Structure 1
Amino acid sequence: MEAIVLAGGFGTRLRAVVPDLPKPMAPVAGRPFLEILLRTLAAKGFTRVILSLGFMAEKVVSHFGREFCGMELVYEIETTPLNTGGAVRAAIGHCRSDHVYVFNGDTYLDLEVAELERQWQATQKVQIVVRAVEDTARFGRVDLAQSHIVAFREKGAAGPGLINAGCYVLPAAALDAFPLGQPFSLETEFLIPAVQTTSVGGFVTQGLFIDIGVPEDYDLAQSMLAEI
C-alpha cells in the first residue's frame, strides 16, 4: 500500500513552541512527530510513502533519507505553497497503485487500515475517514448515512458528532482534472463538490486521534503518544 503524507505546512500556530522546525518534525515524547506517524504506517502495512514537503523540507529529508522502517520514501517538494489539493495533485504523480491513502502530517490517527482497505475494494470510490468527538465546534461537522458522506458543516456547530479525521483514500486519477502546480483546497474544491455530485464513502474510525497543530493538543500528545 502507498500513502501520501502532507507535511509541508508552515505550522504558524506552533511557531512559538517549535520556532526552528517544520511542524511535522516537532518533538513529541522525545522523537519527531513524523517519525511516530511513519512507524505507525509501517506497522499498518504500508510499503511506500510520498512525503509532500515545503517549509524547511531539508530537515525532513536529512533526517529520514530514502528508507524508513522498511518503507520506501519519496519526496515531493513544493517551491510555492500549493494548499492541500495542489500538494496531493503533485504527490499523486509518484503513485504506482490504483489508489492511495492521504494523511495529514500533523495528525496522529490509529486507523483500522485493513477494514478501510476492504471498504475501498468493495466500492472503488473516494473514502473519507471520520471520527466521533465530544465537541465538533473546532473542526466542523460531517454528516454520514449508510457509510456515505452526505454533507459537510462549517466550524462552530457545538456538541458531539462526526468530524473529518484528515485521512482519505483516493483513486490515483481522482485529481486529474486539476492542473499541476496550481494551488487548490482538497477539502473545499474537491471533496465537498464530490459529496454534492457523486457518491463518497465515509469510514468511521474508533482509533486514537490527535492533531498537534495547536499548542494545547501538542502538549497533550507528549503523554498520549509516549508509548507508541
Structure 2
Amino acid sequence: MDTTKEAIILCGGLGTRLRSVISDVPKPMAPIKNKPFLAFVLEYLKKQNISRVVLAVSYKYEIIQEYFGNSYLGMQILYSIEKEPLGTGGAILEALNLINSDSYYVLNGDTFFDVNLDRLKLDNSDICVALKPMKNFDRYGSVDIDNNSYISAFNEKKFTSNGLINGGVYLIKKNIFNSFNLPNKFSFEEFFQENFLIFNAKATVFDDYFIDIGIPQDYKAFIDKNS
C-alpha cells in the first residue's frame, strides 16, 4: 500500500486585494523578506512529512514554476496548470489527475495554519477540515460542530463574538467528486457547504497560529512575525 503523503496547494489566486502592496505576481508569491509566502507553506508541509505536492496554478504560474522547480526541500513538486481559472473546486478536480493516494490534503496558497496534519482523521467520513476558534470577527463565516466533531451547520458571514472558522486545511478522500456531475469551474467551499451531510464531514479544532494574507494588514502582520 502506498503510504506517500500528498497535498494540493491552491495557488491560482490573482491577489487583487494585495495589488496595492505587492508587485504583479501570483498571491502565493507575495514576498516575505527574502522569500515568497508559498515557501513558508512548503516548509510547513515538509515538517508534516508530506513528500509529494501538487501546486494548482493559473495566473502567471511561470513565476512559481521557475522559483520552486520540480523539487523543494526534498519534496516532489508537480504543477496542475489551469488554462483558465477554474475556481477552487475545478482546480482541485484538475489536480487530482496527479494524485496517487486514496486521500490527500488540500491547503490554500495564501493562508498559513500551523496544524498537525496527522490529527485530521477521516474514519467514516469523506472529508475532515481544520477549524480555528476566533473571537469578534465578521470577515469569515462560522462553522458549527456537534459533540462528536461532525459538522452540523455553516453560517453566513456576520459579526460573531465567538466561533469556529474554516481554516482552509482539508483531508479528503480521492473519490469525493465521483458521484457528482460538476461543471469545469466551481467553488470547492460552496460545494462543501452544500454537501457536508452527504460526506458525513468531520472537523478537528486547532487553536494554532493562523493567518490569511489576502488583505494588506494581515500580509504586513506575517512580514512582521517573520522579521
Settle same-fold status: TM greater than 0.5: yes
Instruction: Give the drift of 1:80.
Output: 0.8
1:86 aligns with 2:110: no
SS in structure 2 opposite 1:187?
helix
> Structure 2: how far apart are the matches of 1:207 and 1:194?
27
Paired AA for residue 65 in structure 2 = V
Structure 1 residues 21-79: Cα deviation after superposition (integer angstroms, max 9, x where no partner): 11100011321000111011011100000000001100000000000011000100101
> Structure 2: how far apart are the matches of 1:70 and 1:176?
32
| Alignment correspondent of 1:154 | 156
Paired AA for residue 207 in structure 1 = D
| Alignment correspondent of 1:224 | 225
Contact 1:89 1:178 in 2 (8 A): no
| Alignment correspondent of 2:136 | 135
Paired AA for residue 55 in structure 1 = Y
Which of the residues 57, 71, 75 maps onto 1:71? 75
> Structure 2: how far apart are the matches of 1:91 and 1:99?
13
Structure 1 residues 81-134: Cα deviation after superposition (integer angstroms, max 9, x where no partner): 100100000001211100010000000111111222xx22x3353111110011
SS in structure 1 opposite 2:25?
coil
Moved more, 146-155 or 124-133: 124-133
Moved over 3 A (4+): 177-181
The 5 A counterparts of 1:16-95 are 16-95=20-99
Instruction: Give the drift of 1:7.
Output: 0.4
Structure 2 runs not aligned, ≥5 long: none
Under a length normalisation based on structure 1, what TM-score does the superposition of the two structures give?
A: 0.92
Paired AA for residue 103 in structure 2 = H
Contact 2:125 2:199 in 1 (8 A): no
Paired AA for residue 170 in structure 2 = Y
Q: Percent identity?
A: 37
Instruction: Give the drift of 1:207.
Output: 1.6
Alpha carbons of 1:197 and 1:115: their partners in 2 closer, same or farther (altered >3 Å)? Answer: closer
Moved more, 127-136 or 83-92: 127-136
> Structure 2: how far apart are the matches of 1:29 and 1:57?
21
Structure 1 runs not aligned, ≥5 long: none
Paired AA for residue 136 in structure 2 = D
**Equivalences, count:** 222
1:106 aligns with 2:110: yes
Contact 2:126 2:176 in 1 (8 A): no
Which of the residues 91, 97, 102 maps onto 2:101? 97
> Structure 2: how far apart are the matches of 1:36 and 1:196?
33
Contact 1:29 1:223 in 2 (8 A): no
Contact 2:135 2:163 in 1 (8 A): yes
| Alignment correspondent of 2:202 | 201
> Structure 1: how far apart are the matches of 2:183 and 2:71?
26
Contact 1:82 1:181 in 2 (8 A): no
Under a length normalisation based on structure 2, what TM-score does the superposition of the two structures give?
A: 0.93
Moved more, 193-202 or 40-49: 193-202
Alpha carbons of 1:89 and 1:200: their partners in 2 closer, same or farther (altered >3 Å)? Answer: same
